[in-house]
């Protein structure tokens, strides 16, 4: 089921925004004003009663986030292996997400438990060895083609589906665009990885085909963004900003088409250009 209206985003953005009193200087004049800022809170994910990771995130769509994170981190292989998900507000001004996963997946998780606390920027915090960094062995082999014009239009259309960014100027977004150029899902968060995990979560919940569209992101294309996309069998990533060298290398290895600097009439293709159709 498509999620294109602003109703979802507007209803969920309210809890992720707050008003604060500020002093504003404009043209040399100091005035008192009210500003809107993005809420950032600790979110702990607990699997089968065992705490696994604490993230800093926007407190919206946390069920989507928990499912998407579990899939993109390889904790579970499919959405049906998540049996239950309960979000609980804590006295410590954060959120605790209780997840119940299949016993087999939980046993594997315990074998490779890592300390990932505070993972909001580099994407490698808590990784124990260099071998764990390049854990993605997925190769995206499907060769679906997507029109250049649709991707450029989709990137532009996504700007109107980011109420949190419009009001606070402090959030990232990840969106899913169909081959026909329609934006089906958008998720926002203070963290670019979190926004992508939330998007993955809602798509998995709706049983969407990850190979049949384009991932649009409002951030730079980091290594971990490419890794998460490849694990989910996403063939095309279009970013509004630049990729890193590690991201380009991984995209080349995993068969992902990586595009950056998406503007009104221009973009750069870094890997696997054959998926982009220039009609």
- Spatial separation of the C-alpha atoms in residues 108 and 272, rounded to whole Å: 34
List where CATH 3.10.20.10 sits in the chain: 41-131
Q: Which fold has domain 41-131?
A: Ubiquitin-like (UB roll) (3.10.20)
Residue 39, classed as helix, strand or coil, is coil
* Every domain range in the chain assigned CATH 3.40.140.10: 146-277
Contacts 24+ apart (CB under 8 A), 29-34: none
Known active-site residue 136: no
Architecture of domain 146-277 in this structure = 3-Layer(aba) Sandwich (3.40)
Burial of 261 (0-12, 13-18, 19+ CB in 10 A): middle
List pLDDT tens digits, range 249-278: 999 999 999 999 999 889 999 999 999 999
Global model pTM greater than 0.75: yes
Active-site position among 85, 122, 125, 136 = 122
List pLDDT tens digits, range 187-232.
999 999 999 999 999 999 999 999 999 999 999 999 999 999 999 9
């Amino acid at each position: 089921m498509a999620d294109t209206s602003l109703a979802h985003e507007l209803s969920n953005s309210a809890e992720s925004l707050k008003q604060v009193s500020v002093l504003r200087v404009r043209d040399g004049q100091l005035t008192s004003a009210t500003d809107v800022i993005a809420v950032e809170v600790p979110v702990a994910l607990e699997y089968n009663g065992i705490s696994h990771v604490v993230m800093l995130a926007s407190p919206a769509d946390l069920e989507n986030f928990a499912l998407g994170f579990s899939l993109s981190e390889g904790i579970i292989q499919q959405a049906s292996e998540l049996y239950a998900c309960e979000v609980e507000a804590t006295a410590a001004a954060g959120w605790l997400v209780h997840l119940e996963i299949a016993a087999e997946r939980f046993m594997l998780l315990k074998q490779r438990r890592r300390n990932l606390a505070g993972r909001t920027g580099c994407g490698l915090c808590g990784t124990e060895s260099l071998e764990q960094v390049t854990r993605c062995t997925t190769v995206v082999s499907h060769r679906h083609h997507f029109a250049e014009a649709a991707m450029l239009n989709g990137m532009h259309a996504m700007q109107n589906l980011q109420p949190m960014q419009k009001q606070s100027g402090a959030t990232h977004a990840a969106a899913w665009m169909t081959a026909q150029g329609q934006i089906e899902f958008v998720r926002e968060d203070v963290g670019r990885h979190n926004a992508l995990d939330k998007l993955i979560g809602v798509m998995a919940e709706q049983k969407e085909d990850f190979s049949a569209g384009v991932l649009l992101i409002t951030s730079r294309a980091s290594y971990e963004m490419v890794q998460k996309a490849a694990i989910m069998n996403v063939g095309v990533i279009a970013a509004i900003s630049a990729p890193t060298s590690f991201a380009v290398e991984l995209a080349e290895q995993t068969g992902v088409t990586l595009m950056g600097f998406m503007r009104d009439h221009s973009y750069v293709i870094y890997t696997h250009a054959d998926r982009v159709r220039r009609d």
